[in-house]
Structure 1
């Protein structure tokens, strides 16, 4: 019996909200080969517009952004798009982790992180 190997399931969307180009490039490289559609915005206002078009399955959210703090954006996402999972990424301060999780982030990844840490975080939230 032959199995159809064509995957008709739509790819999960992952939105990176990060203003550092090098960090976005790194995340894209780390996730290369993952069955995900990866998009990237640099500001909270661009993220809001993106969400209005099509909410992603997962958001990788940096804290320090040109137009505000990712920490403050978490509650907006949770309120309007409760199905979206949030991975907060930050390297600046340890206190951000507690606030991020208290505000509703699903996971917190401290910079620098590696491919395994990123993969495991995404797998955990998708399954």
Structure 2
């Protein structure tokens, strides 16, 4: 006789901090089918509010946001929420990679990126 577990599995939360709607849609499409709860905010202020309610396991953080730079926000996140993994995503700021890693980002993903690259980054951080 096989004993089956009825435990509820909780999906890992992923927060996208990105002000471009098309990029958010693309990321959602790339991650479709993954066992993750994906949320999205457009500003650093909204991200701070989100974190107070639901700290995510992983953050995809754009650099250029309406109310500041993602690079500057990394240190705040790492100080307040050290367990959260941060993937910095940036297109025009490829030189920002070193600063992002120095500030505490776990990984840097340069735009444009592929589904494979995105999934590999997330898998690396969650496993």
TM-score range, shorter chain: over 0.9
Distance in 2, Cα, partners of 1:49 & 1:74: 15
Please provide the CA RMSD for this pair. 1.3
How high is the TM-score relative to the length of structure 1? 0.96
Cα pair distance change 1:2/1:39, threshold 3 Å: same
Tell me by how many angstroms 1:19 deviates: 0.2
Q: 1:123 maps to what in 2?
A: 123
Task: Give secondary structure in 1 for the equivalent of 2:14.
Answer: strand
Structure 1 unpaired stretches of 5+: none
Q: 1:34 maps to what in 2?
A: 34
Distance in 1, Cα, partners of 2:7 & 2:30: 22
Q: 2:55 maps to what in 1?
A: 55
How high is the TM-score relative to the length of structure 2? 0.96
Q: 1:14 maps to what in 2?
A: 14
Cα pair distance change 1:19/1:3, threshold 3 Å: farther
Task: Give secondary structure in 2 for the equivalent of 1:92.
Answer: coil
Cα pair distance change 1:30/1:4, threshold 3 Å: farther
